[in-house]
Chain A
Amino acid sequence: MSTTTPTRKPPKMRVDLRQYGILAALAVIVILFQVLTDGRLLLPGNLNNLIQQNAYVLILAVGMVIVIIAGHIDLSVGSVVAMVGAVAAISMSQWGMPWWAAVIISLLLGAAVGAWQGFWVAFVGIPAFIVTLAGMLLFRGLTLVFLTGGTINALPGEFNAIGGGWLPELFGTIGEGRGSRDILTIVLGVLAVAMLITQQVRSRAKQRSLELPVERSVSFWIKNGVAAVVILALTFQLSAYRGTPIILIILAVLILLFTFVLNQTVFGRHVYAIGGNLFAAQMSGVKTSWINFFVFVNMGVLAGLAGVVTTARAGGAVASAGQSFELDAIAAVFIGGAAVTGGVGTVIGAVIGALIMGVLNMGLSILSVDAAWQQTIKGLVLLLAVAFDVMSKRRAGRR
């Protein structure tokens, strides 16, 4: 590699196919189950459920990928989901709070939990594995205390809509009754595609004007073309059910926001720097303790949001909510290509990892595969995904 002379002609960037390996795996799994279920996997109703059922994993995975990039882990998120759900339900049913106040309380409680754990990890120096293992017990215990073993149901409809509702059909529908399509959903899909293409083209133009290496036009347009077709197809399909799930909007905002945070902000850079080489980060003037603290506060807020979503979709709070959510999120992050040692990982990878798990769940359920086997299969998929990643990295290193 070192023989290449630094010429400054039109520089072209090589496309790293490995980067798309995990996306290809998702595509293969979707196609596989689409065939196995005779096309039932992507029916409008199932597509809608796929999004609403897996929203919690996606939200948690976005926070977890940041925790893991910084070189930590968070085992407590499942318990935090349950505790936040309990407090949210109590605040509405017993304290008479409106739904929006309950949401704010939930997010603040999540932040407080994150600050608590972040304090022990960042300033006392206790490994996150221990702090969050303690948190897992602690917050589950508090959930039981708050709910005194019972459940709280009958929450306001606005609150439940966060997890299980849809945007109003603002522009009406195409057709009537069964087979009608919500126009708003289609409009949103078109808007998303337009924004994607605009952003990509502008970024490319800027790269070129700064004489930085740019991707080849062919692969650039194929990539964006495929993305556009997929988005349009999915939203078109979704429009035939009950419109755009509210949670889909929340997820889209989160994914965009945190992709931006990790890639474009100083905070994101410092997270990668800490995970990549803690000492080098310190010697570059990074305030590592504070970064670690805020990584956990952020995880706490997102766990609080996941608590809201889970409680809203279930329509009530139970003490057993959120069980093993932490494992789903961690699995999604590692399937998405994050490194156990920290320093590597992306939001979009974690999202794809979560979708792989979600599609597996849904596909296997449609095929009425026994729950015991479902778990076995998911375990193997996690192992194989990470093994594939480790081996391809080793091959790349040898080259």
Chain B
Amino acid sequence: MTAILSMNQITKDFSGGVRALDGVSLEVERGHVHAICGENGAGKSTLMKVLSGVYPVGSYGGSINFENHETAYKSINDSEADGIVIIHQELALSPYLSIAENIFLGNEIATRGVVDWPKTNREATMLLARVGLDELPSTPVLELGVGKQQLVEIAKALSKQVKLLILDEPTAALNDEDSAHLLDLINSLRGQGITCIIISHKLKEIRRIADTVTIIRDGQTIETFEMKEADATEARIIRAMVGRDLDSMFPPHTPDIGDELFRVENWTVHHPVDTTRKVVDDASFSVRAGEIVGFAGLMGAGRTELAMSIFGRSYGSHISGTAFKEGKEISVKSVSEAIGHGIAYATEDRKHFGLNLIGSIAVNISAAALSKLSRFGIVDRFAENKVAEDYRGQMNIKTPNVSVLAGNLSGGNQQKVVLSKWMFSGPDILILDEPTRGIDVGAKYEIYGIINDLARQGKAVVVISSELPELLGLCDRIYAISEGTITGEIDRADATQERLMHLMTAGKD
């Protein structure tokens, strides 16, 4: 057995002194399927970007050896020329072009700039047969489901004479049937001598497909082992993924929990486009006054979709289930209705859903509760500025004044603006989706403090996070969610990272 790829002592620093990779080593055997596991933010994607030349040579430390020569890729084109192709989680196909056009995009079969369509279509047909996709090459990509689009991506990779195929969470957006088909295809590609690196959270998948697994945590390689070894269990992978101490970075919190404030029963949500797919499946949960409840789930588990669908049907189709506030059923069919019932949802995607980046801090803080600052449709701008100034002080938003545009703030300060906006709406129930994503440690501590204060005021707080230490340090009770299903509920006292990770990776059988 020979290694096709070896990455030695890779280090990668980002500006601001963040070390994303800290001496990662990885050895991949030729013709193997090699799985890489790790929590969100462990450094898996960064490692793959280093490998494929997205981060050019010189911007990282260590050496990479591929096919017995040391690589020096300056861009993704260089790595593709060598036969390394990466397929990202977000597919990169042009929806209005046909399958054949997409396969050969940027790599057209042409003589002197004129495309040879017969040859293009013939080659495309052959590639589609190889990936088991029964569609005409002339079909526009937008008519295909996500699973079939994934296959087009793989056909595209094959057209580039791929030797090493990297799949970043390939089944995260697929239904069970498409996932099974994809795993079969990876199996058959292995038979054709193509080496595969697969990044995945789903331990069942890894068991089924991988020859070798490497676990990465906090930018370091923890261990690599063969899946055929006797002790290569899911438990071992989980232990390696989470095995770290809880940092003492949480402000003290004494829970003072009252009656049930909010409850959701049998909540089911279908994908907005692929309406056959259940993104959230029969979820039920409750939150009491003064309680901080966590939702632990890996990316794509359906946590954000659950929250957004409750918040005025902002996501999904065919939503069913009931919501109760203080025991009474409430209707949350629109965002304004949800806000009216005292629900607030602070999104994980601040730039896209949370803030008007070209609006001032004051305008953003008042956005969800302008009615409190207006009479007969006329906004009292003085009162608005006063409110914004109050939150600036109270939340310690670091800015000279509240007329600064939200887009000019740092991530932590932007998050404080989002929290201010929802606090000002005077909610009873706050759903905070990844409240500390992309925020430095100091600001995180402040935000934990704010969350504790909200609970102390008797509000029901839901925190969605993929960082287990954060949930363990913050929450009174934690639900685990996996593939759209709530797989368990653990009290603070009994919660450990291992138990949660078990529930978070528990697939449907």
Contact = CB atoms under 8 A, between A and B. Distances in A.
A29 to B, nearest CB: 28
Given A213-B401, A284-B368, A266 B336 contact: no
B386 interface: yes
B488 to A, nearest CB: 29
Interface stretch (A112-120, A123-131, A273-281, A355-363): A273-281
Nearest to B375: A266
A18 interface: no
B17 interface: no
Interface string B352-372: 111111110001001110110
Interface stretch (A137-145, A203-211, A221-229, A375-383): A203-211
A280 B392 CA distance: 21
Contacts of B359: 272-273, 276-277, 343
A132 B408 CA distance: 35
B381 A1 contact: no
B378 A264 contact: yes
Nearest to A4: B400
Contacts of B400: 1, 4
B377 A285 contact: no
A343 B358 contact: yes
B398 interface: yes
Interface string A262-292: 0111111110110011011111111100000
Size category of the A interface is 35 or more
Interface in B372-394: 374, 377-379, 381-382, 385-386, 389, 392-393
Contacts, number: 114
B309 interface: no
Given A212-B389, A266-B370, A281 B356 contact: yes
A265 B368 contact: no
B435 to A, nearest CB: 15
B276 interface: no
A2 interface: yes
B6 interface: no
B386 A280 contact: no
Given A282-B335, A283-B314, A285-B336, A4 B379 contact: no
Contacts of B413: 2
A332 B412 CA distance: 39
Contacts of B421: 284
B410 interface: yes
B138 interface: no
Interface string B330-363: 0000111011000001010000111111110001
Contact of B345 (A13, A265, A281, A283): A283
Given A276-B358, A284-B335, A4 B378 contact: no
Contact of B398 (A4, A264, A339): A4
Chain B CB within 10 Å, residue with most, of A210, A212, A281, A339: A212
B347 A264 contact: no
Given A264-B379, A264-B381, A277 B355 contact: yes
Contacts of A344: 358
B107 interface: no
A177 interface: no
A325 to B, nearest CB: 29
Interface in B391-410: 392-393, 396-401, 403-404, 408-410
A213 B401 CA distance: 8
Contacts of B396: 6
A273 B335 CA distance: 15
A179 B410 CA distance: 63
B304 to A, nearest CB: 12
A206 B382 contact: yes
Given A265-B378, A266-B377, A269-B379, A283 B356 contact: no
A172 interface: no
Contacts of A285: 312, 334-336, 338-339, 368
A280 B398 contact: no
Given A211-B389, A265-B378, A276-B359, A6 B339 contact: no
A11 interface: yes
Nearest to A270: B370
Nearest to B356: A276
Contact of B352 (A13, A211, A279): A279
11 contacts: A6-B393, A11-B401, A13-B403, A266-B370, A277-B356, A277-B357, A277-B358, A279-B353, A280-B356, A284-B368, A284-B421
Given A280-B355, A286-B367, 13 more contacts: A2-B410, A4-B398, A4-B399, A207-B382, A265-B378, A265-B379, A277-B355, A277-B356, A279-B352, A279-B353, A283-B311, A283-B335, A284-B367
Q: When A and B form their complex, which 5 residue pairs have the shortest distance between CB atoms, in order from nearest?
A: A276-B356, A285-B336, A284-B368, A2-B398, A284-B367
